[in-house]
Structure 1
């Protein structure tokens, strides 16, 4: 059955998904990083990409209940390592830590990617994630919190919400 939605209904649907995407981006990537990315998109051309990222990736994919956030983070680490996308790998490494990934788990993901995607990608992946992990540890120590204390919201809890 094909349903005809009004332009207003479509606009409202996009707004809901975008807003959920922004909330998820804040949760995973951190408010400071997201706000900086949004502010840098200071023209209509650049802004459209930030809106798309918030809506399509974060609002439509990251909010789906099929995988826990930590699992999504691990997948992104492997893919970004394989694609040799260092800047995004660093962001998603921090996100993985926010989502409860441990140093050991991140190391194993990068090793797995290196095995299948090539040693140059793996070496760069280790360089990038190692730096992020060390920064993360220092931040956690400064806050007086343990490094292994992050927890993902369980899949069951996300479905209930």
Structure 2
């Protein structure tokens, strides 16, 4: 093992919600070539290579590797990029990594899409045999059958087949070891991340029944079957994959808008929406997705606690117009006037008396308006 990171490619605005894309065994991040650029219009898209595939170092994993090892490498990559929380979509082995992340690190994953994958890959036997074959003979013979395993008859992506042939045999075999040991079937009901399953109806490697098994076990999960798609659906049916992924990821913005209305009130949000222009539309989308769809929906802190933190931050930076709005929000979130006053008194100690003077004046005006005495 080394301290090197997985090779990756980042696309899209740095301020956009992050989305990680995982590859299938034998491919590189080129698997996402027809999907990632479109997703990067609204997301910060990070696609990565498996060890020994594409540009990733082969010695990132070794014999006996597990999917949890791969998930750890993905988290290390996310940490290096400053991504505390991200949406995730992965194909086959990349999808298994997503399930592992959602189960063991749910605080890091905002939404999950598992594509042409499984909670188990038909037991260890076939993968142990494949690992032994690759370690003995390399990948040339296995790559000859890539088209039949990956695509419907008559379709191919030469670049992906070339990536298969060029992969490091030892790293490929270690990935086979990981698939051999992987089985999350008993723990699927524990996954609480919002989950989408995408199955290719013509997929011989992970047929729709594998995805249906996950969808039936993960609470609230949705399943979409794509006609005409085999195992590498993002390469063979990119428009269909893009459509269902967008609908799934937009759920973050929709939930964010619901929470925004619950906290700030319909009148405020309606005014903000009415003032929206082409120039500010991306910013309004950013607020709904990131601030409200990601942060305010995180159950780690209650809305009462988030209101207290927000009031303090606004006083500290002198944002008194925003403070007025969030005093109203704090009342909706259950804080009493006495509790709001206690928060502002705390700011006098740590943010300064002049800041607290202005904050108390703003809060007193808002609370009087709320009580009908202003």
- TM-score bracket, normalised by the shorter chain, equals 0.7 to 0.9
Which deviations, in whole Å up to 9, do the C-alpha atoms of 1:29-80 show, x marking residues without a partner?
0000001011111x22211111111110011111111111111111100110
Q: Distance in 1 between matches of 2:343 and 2:360?
A: 10
1:107-122 to structure 2, matched below 5 A, reads: 107-122=341-356
Alignment partners' CA distance in 2, 1:99 and 1:11? 31
Q: Residues 128 and 14 of structure 1: is their aligned pair in 2 closer, same or farther, counting only changes over 3 Å?
A: farther
Residue 45 of structure 1 aligns to a residue in which SS? coil
Residue number in structure 1 paired with 2:254: 19
Q: Tell me the equivalent position of 1:150.
A: none
- Deviation sequence 1:122-153 (CA, Å, 0-9, x none): 111111111111111118xxxxxxxxxxxxxx
Unaligned runs of 5+ in 2: 1-20, 23-89, 92-112, 114-240
**Structure 1: distance between partners of 2:263 and 2:360:** 21
CA gap 1:36/1:16 in 2 versus in 1, 3 angstroms: same
TM-score (norm 2): 0.35
Residue 106 of structure 1 pairs with residue 343 of structure 2: no
- Give the equivalent residue in structure 2 for 1:151: none
Paired residue secondary structure (2:280): helix
Where structure 1 has 5 or more consecutive residues not aligned to the other structure, the ranges are: 140-161
Structure-2 separation of matches of 1:126 and 1:7: 49
- 1:80 aligned to which of 310, 314, 332: 314
Q: What is the CA-CA distance between 1:7 and the residue it aligns to?
A: 3.2
Partner of 2:87: none
**Alpha-carbon separation, structure 2, partners of 1:13 and 1:48:** 19
Say if 1:28 and 1:98, in contact at 8 Å, map to a contact too: yes
Higher strand share: 2
Per-residue deviation at 1:118?
A: 1.2
- Corresponding position of 1:37: 272
Tell me if 1:96 matches 2:340: no
Rg larger in 1 or in 2?
2
Match of 1:152 in 2: none
Q: What's the CA shift for 1:9? A: 4.3
TM superposition outliers: structure 1 runs of 4+ over 6 Å: none
- Provide the rounded CA distance (Å) in 1 between the counterparts of 2:270 and 2:293: 16
Tell me the residue number matched to 1:155: none
**1:51 and 2:281 correspond:** no
Q: Aligned pair count?
A: 138
Asked if 2 retains the 8 angstrom alpha-carbon contact of 1:14 and 1:55, the reply is: no
Corresponding residue number in structure 2 for 1:157:
none
In 1: Cα distance, 2:344 partner to 2:260 partner: 23
Give the root-mean-square deviation of aligned CA atoms. 1.7
